Amino acid sequence: MLRWIIPIVLYILIDVYAFQAVKTITKNPLLHGLYVLSSVVVLGLFIYAISTGEARTNPKLMYVFGLFLALLVPKLLLVLIMFGEDIVRFVLGLISKVGGSETGFHMPSRRKFLSTVALGIAALPFASLLYGMVKGKYNYKVLKYALEFDDLPDAFDGYTLTQISDVHSGSFDNAEKVNYAVDLVNKQKSDIILFTGDLVNNVASEMNEWKNVFGSLKAKDGVYSVLGNHDYGDYVEWNTPADKINNLQELKDIQKEMGWDLLLNESRTFERDGQAIKLVGVENWGKGGFKKSGDLEKACEHVAPEDFTILMSHDPSHWQAQVKEHPKNIHLTLSGHTHGMQFGIEIPGWFKWSLIKYRYENWAGVYEEFGRYINVNRGFGYLGYPGRVGIWPEVTVITLKKKLKTA
């Protein structure tokens, strides 16, 4: 709680500053009172939420965080615009003083027009964040890619895989939408379904009401999964170490019950017409303080350098650190983890931006280096902010193609 004191004080200062724009536009005491009341109520709820330690993972408390964010971001934008105006006003005041004005230093009053424009601009992120909580978080998109490889076995030309990631089942609050999304995955009719980690927020019991839904996922070659950083229960204060161990085992058992094959630093082989490809799955490996249980060497123990290999690794930082130049020819890596920060701007094929790009080099979509690919799935669920704006929940379908030889 103590670590939140400075951010809370900053929020109050931002709130007071932003209030000046409201006062410039209207002198109505009722509107002033509504502004103050909403700010106090939301701040009080936010302080309560963070004091429980569950603000990022409890569905109800996540809405408190979302509402807090929906008010903070517009006010921050409003303050930036007003601060720019105040600098201009200050400079004009100095000019009047230096110029020998009879009144001395005098700052011009705030312009009602600019305050009105600033409020209008600030309303855009406010509306967007509210939309993200109501509609955006279940606005599922199917993204399809065709990737070509020189050494793809001929028997697997046209092989399709569907990837989902970051379910975060403890956040869901709409069974109809989740059922729709799972059905959407099945409708892709891919040869294989691959899940790249973070099935839950914290505890295995979050899956109890959803295991029948996700257990309905079917593909000809099966459903395979790996663990993400949230699956280990590291963000819970367990009564005993044994409770944490039992929770992880329960999560593994649930995946088995659903018919999923959980890969724990191991590999599987798929054969067609005497040819084969390898699927490798590692436990979580991430930079920046995240768990490093992934053992790529152990996982690739039965993989030869000439094998066509697909890797499931939850955190895309693993690709940069160990995978993209690994001696084993890992052709395609599938990751998740970033969620695309659940907020950003995307114009497919043209432009892609989110703040998360300043932390992760590979944060959403397909990237290629050294003839090897990584796809970073934007996530199936959500965490923290209970919504999505611009970065929609994703079902990825990748078709493996044999690159045609040119004469």
Name the residue ranges covered by the structural domains of the chain.
2-134, 139-402
Task: Give the percent of the chain with pLDDT over 90.
Answer: 74
* Residue 55 confidence (pLDDT): 72
State the Cα–Cα distance between residues 202 and 205, nearest whole angstrom: 9
Q: Report whether pLDDT(108) > 60.
A: no
* Residue 78 confidence (pLDDT): 87
How far is CA 254 from its chain centroid?
Answer: 24
* Residue 101 confidence (pLDDT): 58
Residue whose tokens read 């934008």? 77
* Residue 91 confidence (pLDDT): 76
CATH class of 139-402: alpha beta
Q: 380 CB contacts (<8 Å, ≥6 apart)?
A: 140, 164, 165, 166, 167, 168, 181, 393, 394, 395
Residues forming beta bridges with residue 353, ordered by sequence position: 345
Mean pLDDT across 123-141: 96
Angle 29-52/5-25 helices, nearest 10 degrees?
160
State the Cα–Cα distance between residues 43 and 15, nearest whole angstrom: 10
| CA nearest to 161, candidates 384, 334, 329, 382 | 334
Q: Report whether pLDDT(390) > 70.
A: yes
How far is CA 402 from its chain centroid?
Answer: 32
Task: Give the percent of the chain with pLDDT over 70.
Answer: 95
Q: Looking at per-residue confidence, does 177 or 120 come out higher? A: 177
State the Cα–Cα distance between residues 58 and 53, nearest whole angstrom: 9
Report the range of poorest mean pLDDT among 44-58, 128-142, 303-317.
44-58
Confidence class of residue 372 from pLDDT cuts 50, 70 and 90?
very high
Token pair of 113, please?
A: 């027009």
- Secondary element (H or E) of residue 146: strand 141-149
* Residue 2 confidence (pLDDT): 66
State the Cα–Cα distance between residues 167 and 172, nearest whole angstrom: 9
* Residue 348 confidence (pLDDT): 84
Would you say the C-alpha torsion 97, 99, 101, 106 has a positive or negative sign? Answer: negative
State the Cα–Cα distance between residues 395 and 275, nearest whole angstrom: 28
> What letter would DSSP give residue 4?
G
Q: Looking at per-residue confidence, does 98 or 76 come out higher? A: 76
State the Cα–Cα distance between residues 64 and 43, nearest whole angstrom: 9
Q: Looking at per-residue confidence, does 111 or 220 come out higher? A: 220
| Residue 302 CB neighbours (<10 A) | 12
> What letter would DSSP give residue 304?
-
